Amino acid sequence: MQAHSLPTFHDVELASRRIAREARLTPLIESPALNACTGGRVLIKPEMLQRTGSFKFRGAYNRIVQLDAQEHPRGVVAFSSGNHAQGVAAAAQLRNLPAVIVMPDDAPAMKRANTESYGATVVTCDRARQDRRAIAQGIAEEQGSVLVPAYDDPHIIAGQGTVGLELALEARRRDVELDVLLVPCSGGGLIAGINLAFEALSPRTEVCVVEPEGFDDHARSLDTGQRMENELRSGSICDALLSAQPGEMTFEINRRCLKGAFAVSDDEVRDAVAFAYRELKVVVEPGGAVALAALLAGKVDAAGKSVGIVLSGGNIDVDQFCSILNAS
């Protein structure tokens, strides 16, 4: 695969083999309570159970395992609000490569602490005033290290696509053809990879993204056919879903495959985080809960349907988690 050519389903299959030893094949879980309150059959892919607590490890490891530590002794650099940071740091540690991660100074404390716990050096910047990408590129040039993008990269997309590969195969094993699949979305890497898998394995499933209100760049981009930018850069409870606009490469895939987009409010997200605690017994962070939020808020009519949802991560500070639970 060329560095700038679009990945294909075959790349997702290759990624799946490449990451198999280090990534977890996460299960598919079901909740009678969720089935009852939606009137459908819901299959849940709980990616907080993935190594590093989010799906991001998949793409990061698929990218980094293809670097040669001897060719790249200077290691890797990334910029991220937190989950990609942890994915890159953990993958680099497994490959004995140094990692520098540029994170916004308002990133959740747990995300920063975890990133450092994998041996990475964290450089913070001001989310509003500084360009994280430029800082990371500067570090890469200065140190001679390799920049690992968060989504606009064929290996990253293929790695995240293994979520979709596993989900489609396990649904098939259960004799379920999903009518709808709901996936959290920011830069669009996860959904692009999942689209590659579903295009090949479950083409009749309507794959849709869910975004935070005010950060609905994919919804607007699908409407106009152009990559639209968000006006806001912060202000959603979903710290993981604040990308400014769809990625170039990811949007080429997503434009072709996506069937819809939904937006959820902070309160709908809080309800979903509390529901996951109470009924699913898993820890999900706000950005990881948007697909569940859309389902619980009735944005998708699930009655009589089979619906897949991805819970994409569970790295949430105790303060925020307990504040959500106490208000629920």
6 near a copy of itself, rule: CB under 8 A: no
Nearer to a copy of itself, 47 or 152 (CB): 47
Question: Segment contacting a copy of itself (CB under 8 A): 1-9, 49-57, 253-261, 290-298?
Answer: 49-57
Decide if 252 contacts 195 (C-beta within 8 A). no
Bridge partner list, 210: 184, 262
Q: Are strands 180-184 and 206-212 parallel, antiparallel or unpaired?
A: parallel
In the β-sheet with 121-125, what is the strand arrangement from edge to edge? 121-125, 99-104, 76-79, 146-147
Q: How far is CA 20 from CA 58, 189, 257, in A?
A: 9, 19, 26
Q: Site map for a copy of itself, 246-275, x if CB under 8 A?
A: ------------------------------
Question: Among 2, 3, 32, 175, which residue sits at the site for a copy of itself (rule: CB under 8 A)?
Answer: 32
Spatial strand order of the sheet with 206-212 comes to 41-46, 306-311, 180-184, 206-212, 260-264
Taking CB under 8 A as the criterion, the residue among 232, 278, 301, 304 binding a copy of itself is 278
For residue 323, give the H/E element and its range. Answer: helix 318-327
Q: How far apart are CA 192 and CA 195, in angstroms?
A: 5
286 lies in the binding site for a copy of itself (CB under 8 A)? no
Q: What is the rounded distance in angstroms from the CA atom of residue 156 to the CA atom of residue 316?
A: 23
Q: With binding defined as CB under 8 A, does residue 164 bind a copy of itself?
A: no
Please count the CA atoms within 13 angstroms of the CA of 14 that sit on its side-chain side. 15
By CB under 8 A, what part of segment 299-328 binds a copy of itself? 314, 318, 321-322, 325-326, 328
* Piece of 45-53, 70-78, 231-239, 290-298 that binds a copy of itself (CB under 8 A): 45-53
Please tell me the distance from the alpha carbon of residue 104 to that of residue 115, in angstroms, as a whole number.
13
Under rule CB under 8 A, residue 218 binds a copy of itself:
no
* 110 interacts with a copy of itself by CB under 8 A: yes
Query: Which one among 53, 87, 188, 287 touches a copy of itself, defined by CB under 8 A?
Result: 53
Contact region for a copy of itself (CB under 8 A) — 10-18, 21-29, 121-129, 246-254? 21-29
Residue 281 interacts with a copy of itself (CB under 8 A): yes or no: yes
Residues that bind a copy of itself (CB under 8 A): 24, 27, 29-30, 32, 46, 48-49, 51, 53, 90, 110, 277-278, 280-284, 314, 318, 321-322, 325-326, 328
